[in-house]
Structure 1
Amino acid sequence: MSVLSHDAIIKAFQTKEIVITPLNENAVGPASVDLSLDNEFRIFKNTDSPLDIKESTNYREETDVVTIKDGEYFEVQPHTTCLGITRETVTLSNGICGLLEGRSRFARLGLFVHITASFMNPGISNRQVLEIYNSSNRVIRLYPGERVCQMIFMRMDGTAQYKGIFEHNYL
Structure 2
Amino acid sequence: MILTREKILEEIEQGRVEIDPYDPALVGPASIDLRLGGEIRTMDPGSGPIDVEEAIDYRRFSTLRKLDQPFDLVSGQTILGITLERVRLPADLCAWLEGRSRFARLGLLVHVTAGFLSPGINNRQVLEIANLSGRTLRLRAGTPVCQIILQRTEGSAVYRGRFADQSRV
**TM-score, length-scaled by structure 2:** 0.97
Q: 1:68: how far off?
A: 2.0
Q: Which runs of 5+ in 1 are unaligned?
A: none
SS in 2 for 1:53: coil
Q: Give the structure 2 partner of residue 60 of structure 1.
A: 59
Q: Give the structure 2 partner of residue 19 of structure 1.
A: 18
Q: Following the alignment from structure 1 to structure 2, what is the Cα–Cα distance between the partners of residues 110 and 51?
A: 26
SS in 2 for 1:8: helix
User: Is 1:118 the counterpart of 2:115 in the alignment?
Assistant: yes
Q: Deviations over 1:12-57 (max 9, x none)?
A: 0012221000011110000000000011000001000101111111
Q: Is the 8 A contact 1:17 1:96 kept in 2?
A: no
Matches within 5 A, 1:1-171: 2-69=1-68, 72-169=69-166, 170-171=168-169
Q: Following the alignment from structure 1 to structure 2, what is the Cα–Cα distance between the partners of residues 77 and 123?
A: 36
Q: Following the alignment from structure 1 to structure 2, what is the Cα–Cα distance between the partners of residues 167 and 133?
A: 24
Q: Deviations over 1:73-101 (max 9, x none)?
A: 01111101100000000000111100000
1:95 maps to a residue whose letter is D
Q: Following the alignment from structure 2 to structure 1, what is the Cα–Cα distance between the partners of residues 164 and 44?
A: 25
SS in 1 for 2:40: strand
Q: Which runs of 5+ in 2 are unaligned?
A: none
Q: Following the alignment from structure 1 to structure 2, what is the Cα–Cα distance between the partners of residues 168 and 55?
A: 19
SS in 1 for 2:11: helix
Q: Following the alignment from structure 2 to structure 1, what is the Cα–Cα distance between the partners of residues 65 and 73?
A: 12
1:51 maps to a residue whose letter is I
Q: Is the 8 A contact 1:36 1:149 kept in 2?
A: yes
Q: Following the alignment from structure 1 to structure 2, what is the Cα–Cα distance between the partners of residues 68 and 131?
A: 15
User: Identity, % of aligned pairs?
Assistant: 43
Q: Is the 8 A contact 1:33 1:152 kept in 2?
A: yes
Q: 1:110: how far off?
A: 0.4
Q: Is the 8 A contact 1:17 1:92 kept in 2?
A: yes
1:119 maps to a residue whose letter is F
Aligned length: 168
SS in 2 for 1:109: coil
